[in-house]
């Protein structure tokens, strides 16, 4: 599977079960359907934990499937070092697999920090298999490299950190966000020269 990163929250396991590892494959061949719930931004993981706890407490553990919090890998430079981290693809949203009925709708909707289901009002419409795949494999065409956390703008001054022009500064002339590359105009021997660079080969000048 390509670098399609997502955090996987499994339903609360029984004593004989162990939790599914992060990044485990999603089983779309199931009787349960996928729904999107809206949460307070920053509380996505708390909501997932609360749902697992409520599933055990209120007896709907068997009807609650996987809980997904899609993420992507990004990088930035800190003190000259490349640091890779994860960020949410959809802040404030959590995907939940469940066997929907009125009781479960209320139980999920009344979970702390959940503001409701996305779409359908009191009768939320489940996601199709294609929609779920679109979310999970959003980055399938991006490639294997993490995305830059920082963005660049034309005419912005950057410093080159790798390659033969290390420590040279120049202005951004062209940006290719799909390939994570820049064309930077660098003054070499008194002449402005275009240099093609990856995003990770430059840093912003503060």
The CATH number of the domain covering residues in 6-148: 3.30.70.940
Report pLDDT for 112: 95
Report pLDDT for 181: 85
Contact 47, 39 (CB under 8 A): yes
Q: Where are the domains of the chain?
A: 6-148, 157-204
Residue bearing the bigger pLDDT, 20 or 130: 130
Fold of 157-204: SH3 type barrels. (2.30.30)
Global pTM reads: 0.57
Lowest mean pLDDT among 68-72, 90-94, 118-122, 135-139: 135-139
Lowest mean pLDDT among 16-25, 27-36, 56-65, 160-169: 16-25
Whole-angstrom CA distances from 66 to 27, 82, 127, 166, 169 are 9, 33, 14, 47, 48
Residue 104 has pLDDT above 60, yes or no: yes
In this predicted model, what pLDDT tens digit does every residue of 129-142 receive, in sequence order?
888 888 776 644 44
Rounded Cα distance between 182 and 168, Å, is 14
Measure the CA angle with vertex 194, ends 189 and 199; round to 5°: 120
């Amino acid at each position: 599977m390509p670098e399609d990163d997502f955090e996987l929250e499994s339903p609360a396991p029984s004593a004989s079960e162990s939790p599914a590892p992060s990044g485990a494959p999603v089983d779309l061949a199931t009787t349960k359907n996928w729904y999107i719930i809206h949460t307070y931004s920053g509380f996505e993981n708390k909501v997932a934990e609360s749902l697992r706890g409520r599933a055990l407490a209120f007896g709907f553990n068997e009807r609650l499937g996987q809980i997904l919090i899609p993420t992507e890998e990004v990088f930035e430079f800190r003190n000259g070092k490349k640091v890779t981290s994860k960020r949410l693809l959809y802040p404030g949203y959590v995907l939940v697999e469940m066997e929907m009925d009125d009781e479960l709708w209320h139980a999920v909707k009344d979970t702390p920090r959940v503001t409701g289901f996305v779409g359908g009002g009191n009768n939320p419409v489940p996601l199709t298999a294609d929609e779920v795949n679109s979310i999970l494999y959003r980055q399938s065409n991006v490639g294997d490299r993490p995305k830059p956390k920082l963005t660049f703008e034309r005419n912005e001054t950057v410093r080159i950190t790798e390659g033969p022009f290390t420590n040279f500064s120049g202005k951004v002339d062209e940006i290719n966000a799909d390939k994570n590359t820049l064309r930077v105009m660098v003054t070499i021997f008194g002449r402005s020269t275009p240099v093609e660079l990856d995003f990770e080969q430059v840093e912003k000048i503060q």
